[in-house]
Amino acid sequence: MILLSSISLLLIIAIFGLVFHYKKKRKSSIFCFGFLGFYFFIVAVSPIPQLLIHSIEKPFYSSDLDFAKAKYILVLGAGYTDDAKLNDLQKLSASGAARLTHAVLLKSKNPHLKLILSGKSKNQRYSVAEAMARAAIKFGVPSKDIIKFHQTKNTYEEALQ
């Protein structure tokens, strides 16, 4: 049995939509393109993926944990926009900003903790870790309490460091 990735499946549906369009099968063509439009709306419109991510991350937003023995808070990078018109927090993606904000809140309640900020960037001037560090400093986190992982490829590598 062949498993299709979602991109392959979408391309097949688009091809069927075009075939139906050229064969003058209007209802089938409208159904195919309507499905593609609906799929892209669900995936591309920011609130929907953010709600899905939030529902996965929400169980880990516990403020009743005991941080006395902890030393670090690991904040996974989630991308940023290098736009000079935006402030440092606005440059972060919505999920990255939420993660950093929560980490800074935990740090404010537990001043002994250090922040480990991770995230590599391929096509931008500085790494996601650096973008998050700039925002964290604006939040009032001392730079001596920030550790940046610039070059990690994935979460597994971060765990090994």
| pLDDT score recorded for residue 76 | 87
**pLDDT tens for the chain, residues 1 to 161:** 455 667 787 888 889 889 988 888 888 889 888 888 888 777 777 677 777 777 777 766 655 677 888 899 989 888 888 888 888 888 888 888 888 998 999 899 899 999 999 888 777 788 888 989 999 999 999 999 999 987 766 667 666 66
**What is the pLDDT at residue 83?**
82
pLDDT at 1: 42
Residue linked to tokens 């990690």: 152
Q: What is the pLDDT at residue 59?
A: 67
Per the structure block, which two tokens stand in for 112?
A: 């002994």
The number of CA neighbours under 13 Å toward the Cβ of 18 is 5
- Confidence at residue 86, expressed as pLDDT on a 0 to 100 scale: 87
The predicted structure's pLDDT at residue 61? 61
Interhelix angle for 6-22 vs 26-44, to 10°? Answer: 150
Backbone angles phi, psi at 135, to 5 degrees: -70, -40
pTM of the model as a whole: 0.59
